[in-house]
Chain A
Amino acid sequence: MALVLENLTKRFGSVVALDGISFRVAPGEVFGFLGGNGAGKTTAMRIILDILKADSGTATWNDQPTDRAPRATWGYLPEERGLYPRMEVLEQLVFLANLFHIPRREGARRAREWLDRFNIADYATRRAEELSKGNQQKIQFIAAVIHEPQVLLMDEPFVGLDPVNVALLKEAFLEMRNRGATIVFSTHQMEMVEELCESVVLIDRGRVVLGGTVRDVRRSTGRQVIRLAVDGDTELTWLAEVPGVKVVRPGLDYAELDVEQSVDPETVLRAALDRGLRVTQFLIADPSIEDIFIEKVGRRPTEIEHLAGVAAAGASAA
């Protein structure tokens, strides 16, 4: 009972989209699939869904090739959102549920339930094009889960939502997991990964860069991070005198420091107190997923997204 990708490769002409990707998603897990779009995430998801065929390698679910699993096994929220613009919301959802062999009446019942839950019950008879982007996205999410799939594959489910809707969606997300669904999702919001995911895999240019449980990944770097805030001093210039410590992210509320493994974090605190400064925040932590992302990939996740657009265009032009 697991989703296993083994040595998947896929080329589009001269562009290598996947260069031997392997990872395993345990059943019932929330799994973060990280990396820019051009990194090969969408291609991997499409191969799992049998929309694309891999050049080599296998994707299996419960030891069976994924293309043999019934389509209703999967719930898919694609990177490119799409609804029939002139079709009514409820009708649209009933149609999609119907494709998964859910009778129209039952489909309508489930759709109403979800719409209610996302506070958009009033929009049931509105045409999709009349809805705001955020509301369209909620419809899209419902479309992906209405048939209660065993595995949810979601490309950037949280992008473009306001905080209230993010909370709603997160709740729905966790409920799907509690019902036993395995969830694979990609995001560039790293705090979301830390909050929701049990495991992650980071891919770059079609290769797995690192993977494992979020805890292990954060500890794997062998570095520590200190969050430090000092009353009345945002520059922290004196830190230059403390060996093995570097300011990686200065900020008005607090600064993030990178501390070498050999250095005891307490030396930083002591140095501050010795200078007679009032420390308002001091926190020792593992590096954030975001820092690891930058370290491994060399760019910020958002920058990758931009590059991914270019790479995706290149891939489809091939």
Chain B
Amino acid sequence: MTIDPSNVVVIARREYVARGRTRTFKATTVLLVIVGLVVALAPVILQYFDKGSTGTTIEVSVGDSKPTVDVAAALNALLNVSPTAATTGGSGGTGTGAGSGAAGSQAPQYRVVTTTDIAGARLRVADGKSGGLLIVTRNAAGELEFAYATKASAIDRTSLLVRQAAGTIAVQDRLTSAGIPPIDQAKLFAGPTYTVQAPDGSAPTGPSSPDGFVNQFAGGFVLAIVLFMAIILYGQWVAYSVVEEKSSRVMEVILGAATPFELLGGKVIGVGALAVTQYVIVGIPATVALLLQPQIAALVLGGTAGSIALPAGISISLLLAFGVFFVLGFALYAALYAGAAALVSRTEDINQIVAPLTLVAAAGYLVAVYSSTGLLDPNSKLVVIMSYVPFFSPYLMLSRMGAGLVGPLEVAVAIAILAVSVPLAIWVAARFYSAGVLMYGQRPSLRLMVRVLRGRA
């Protein structure tokens, strides 16, 4: 089989131009640009909507129970306790704004106010203006009693936190009643130092804090999503393009001028180039937004620039690996999508014939997601082995690399295996393609595929 590279270029060019002009391409590009910007600016957007919100209001009525602790301040300290900074400035009064020092620049989750108007407070809870009302009374035995009025259920997170806080307040009240002098409340309710360890006492492998989690997430995981989307979306484009040529019968004209191999190669390259174009169009504004996030945040939220940290999980070497996996992974899948699509003659049949490929792609993607979010141990045998298998390695090696679990050698081995399997996939696809392109009206079956591969069709 001789290959005329200029024909490959001509076909790729047509594919690129024709597909780039379609409404589908333009629509998806616009959509993806918006998605990219939203994702890049998500922290700013979230904070913008949180700005001015002072969190859920919890009203407290102490009546004539005369608790020995400032219930509102204690509740405020206990509810707004943060794992990183557990000190509050609760100092009597109503306790409003007492949680301002709770979690860095973040607004406090709860705002605690005292009230004497129980009926009014109940109305506010019913209206949803307040999250709940805690009524403190003292019974005949001298014990504090708590009643919590809320629209949420008893096992709602807030309800549980309030209950926990009530217990702590009750203990403190009993201690004071028993004659033990009250200690500084801020110190009393401060969270203790608490770490999670691996069985051998070393630091745990998983993310230790939500921030660390976000970084790992952003590293391999986002890139795996991008890759998966490219393979599914653009692989389908290749498949559609093949079937369009078949159903419009233009295929035979083209085959008079070019070999099936050239046609296949040109298609994959053309659509691949378009994919890269779309990703660049989407990537540039998203990257700019990401880099300018501090400035944008300053502009939108007020305050000084630099208050928001960038996710630090993306490195140059990871991006390079992503580039290689993107190109090879796309070539592998796109060639097979084209080969499979050549076996059907109507666009309605495409989904059916490419379903196995889409399933394989989705499987690799899901394992990558599960292992990078900790649902699946990224060091388990299954994940390690799968990260070398060509169909899965683009996702898995990438996410493992993003998590910092593999060295350059392992990545290189996975890339080498993938690189070898691409020509093999193209050979198989070209086989399907040259047999399939002139085949009309047949129902694709496994037998047919086997026969095609053995060159008997």
Q: What is A's interface to B at a CB cutoff of 8 Å?
A: 46, 49, 51-52, 71, 74-76, 78, 80-87, 95-96, 98-101, 140, 143-144, 313, 316-317
Query: Judging by beta carbons under 8 Å apart, are A316 and B257 in contact?
Result: no
- Chain B residues in 8 Å Cβ range of A71: 256-258
Query: Judging by beta carbons under 8 Å apart, are B258 and A82 in contact?
Result: no
- Chain B residues in 8 Å Cβ range of A80: 249, 252
Query: Judging by beta carbons under 8 Å apart, are A316 and B442 in contact?
Result: yes
Query: Judging by beta carbons under 8 Å apart, are A99 and B255 in contact?
Result: no
- Chain B residues in 8 Å Cβ range of A52: 438
Given contacts A95-B14, A99-B258, contact A82 B253 (CB under 8 A): yes
Query: Judging by beta carbons under 8 Å apart, are A78 and B252 in contact?
Result: yes
> 9 tightest A-B contacts by CB?
A82-B249, A82-B250, A76-B256, A99-B257, A78-B252, A80-B249, A98-B10, A51-B255, A95-B14
Q: Does B203 have its Cβ within 8 Å of any Cβ on chain A?
A: no
Inter-chain CA distance A98–B11, complex, in Å, is: 9
- Chain A residues in 8 Å Cβ range of B254: 96, 99
Query: Judging by beta carbons under 8 Å apart, are B442 and A317 in contact?
Result: yes
- Chain A residues in 8 Å Cβ range of B258: 71, 99
Could you give, for residues 237-264 of chain B, a 1 whenever the CB lies within 8 Å of some chain A CB and a 0 otherwise? Answer: 0000000110011111111111000000
Inter-chain CA distance A84–B19, complex, in Å, is: 12
CB B93 to nearest CB in A, in angstroms, measures: 72
Q: Does B441 have its Cβ within 8 Å of any Cβ on chain A?
A: yes
Q: Does B18 have its Cβ within 8 Å of any Cβ on chain A?
A: yes
Query: Judging by beta carbons under 8 Å apart, are B253 and A96 in contact?
Result: yes
CB A188 to nearest CB in B, in angstroms, measures: 20
CB B15 to nearest CB in A, in angstroms, measures: 10
- Chain B residues in 8 Å Cβ range of A140: 253
Inter-chain CA distance A85–B22, complex, in Å, is: 13
Q: Within residues 418 to 457 of chain B, which ones have a CB less than 8 A from any CB in chain A? A: 438-442
Q: Within residues 14 to 40 of chain B, which ones have a CB less than 8 A from any CB in chain A? A: 14, 18, 22
Given contacts A84-B18, A95-B14, A99-B10, contact A76 B438 (CB under 8 A): no
Query: Judging by beta carbons under 8 Å apart, are B252 and A74 in contact?
Result: no
CB B22 to nearest CB in A, in angstroms, measures: 8
Q: Does B6 have its Cβ within 8 Å of any Cβ on chain A?
A: yes
- Chain A residues in 8 Å Cβ range of B442: 316-317
Between A and B, 9 residue pairs with Cβ closer than 8 Å are: A78-B253, A84-B18, A86-B18, A87-B14, A96-B253, A96-B257, A100-B257, A144-B253, A313-B441
Query: Judging by beta carbons under 8 Å apart, are B251 and A82 in contact?
Result: yes
Query: Judging by beta carbons under 8 Å apart, are B256 and A74 in contact?
Result: yes
Inter-chain CA distance A190–B11, complex, in Å, is: 39
Inter-chain CA distance A101–B245, complex, in Å, is: 21
Query: Judging by beta carbons under 8 Å apart, are A76 and B441 in contact?
Result: no
CB B66 to nearest CB in A, in angstroms, measures: 82
Using CB atoms, name the residue of chain A closest to B257: A99
- Chain A residues in 8 Å Cβ range of B441: 313, 316-317
Query: Judging by beta carbons under 8 Å apart, are A76 and B253 in contact?
Result: yes
Inter-chain CA distance A99–B6, complex, in Å, is: 8
Query: Judging by beta carbons under 8 Å apart, are A51 and B256 in contact?
Result: yes
- Chain A residues in 8 Å Cβ range of B249: 78, 80-82
Interface centre among A83, A95, A100, A143 (most CB of B within 10 A): A95
Inter-chain CA distance A81–B249, complex, in Å, is: 6
Inter-chain CA distance A278–B27, complex, in Å, is: 78
- Chain B residues in 8 Å Cβ range of A98: 10
Inter-chain CA distance A95–B256, complex, in Å, is: 13
- Chain B residues in 8 Å Cβ range of A46: 438
Query: Judging by beta carbons under 8 Å apart, are B256 and A101 in contact?
Result: no
Could you give, for residues 1-17 of chain B, a 1 whenever the CB lies within 8 Å of some chain A CB and a 0 otherwise? Answer: 00000110011001000
Inter-chain CA distance A52–B438, complex, in Å, is: 9
Using CB atoms, name the residue of chain B closest to A78: B252
- Chain A residues in 8 Å Cβ range of B256: 49, 51, 71, 74-76, 78
Interface centre among A52, A71, A82, A313 (most CB of B within 10 A): A82
Using CB atoms, name the residue of chain B closest to A77: B253
CB A47 to nearest CB in B, in angstroms, measures: 12
Inter-chain CA distance A95–B18, complex, in Å, is: 11
Q: Which of B10, B22, B438 contacts A51 (CB 8 A)?
A: B438
- Chain B residues in 8 Å Cβ range of A101: 6
- Chain A residues in 8 Å Cβ range of B245: 82, 84
Query: Judging by beta carbons under 8 Å apart, are B438 and A87 in contact?
Result: no
Q: Within residues 319 to 346 of chain B, which ones have a CB less than 8 A from any CB in chain A? A: none
Query: Judging by beta carbons under 8 Å apart, are B257 and A85 in contact?
Result: no
Inter-chain CA distance A82–B11, complex, in Å, is: 16
Using CB atoms, name the residue of chain B closest to A313: B441
Inter-chain CA distance A80–B257, complex, in Å, is: 16
- Chain A residues in 8 Å Cβ range of B6: 101
Interface centre among A78, A99, A313 (most CB of B within 10 A): A99
Q: Within residues 345 to 362 of chain B, which ones have a CB less than 8 A from any CB in chain A? A: none
CB B152 to nearest CB in A, in angstroms, measures: 56
Given contacts A51-B256, A71-B257, A99-B254, contact A83 B248 (CB under 8 A): yes
Query: Judging by beta carbons under 8 Å apart, are A99 and B252 in contact?
Result: no
A78-B253, A144-B253, A317-B442 known; 10 new pairs, CB 8 Å cut-off, are A51-B438, A71-B258, A74-B256, A76-B252, A81-B249, A82-B252, A83-B253, A86-B22, A99-B7, A99-B11
- Chain B residues in 8 Å Cβ range of A74: 256
Using CB atoms, name the residue of chain A closest to B345: A316
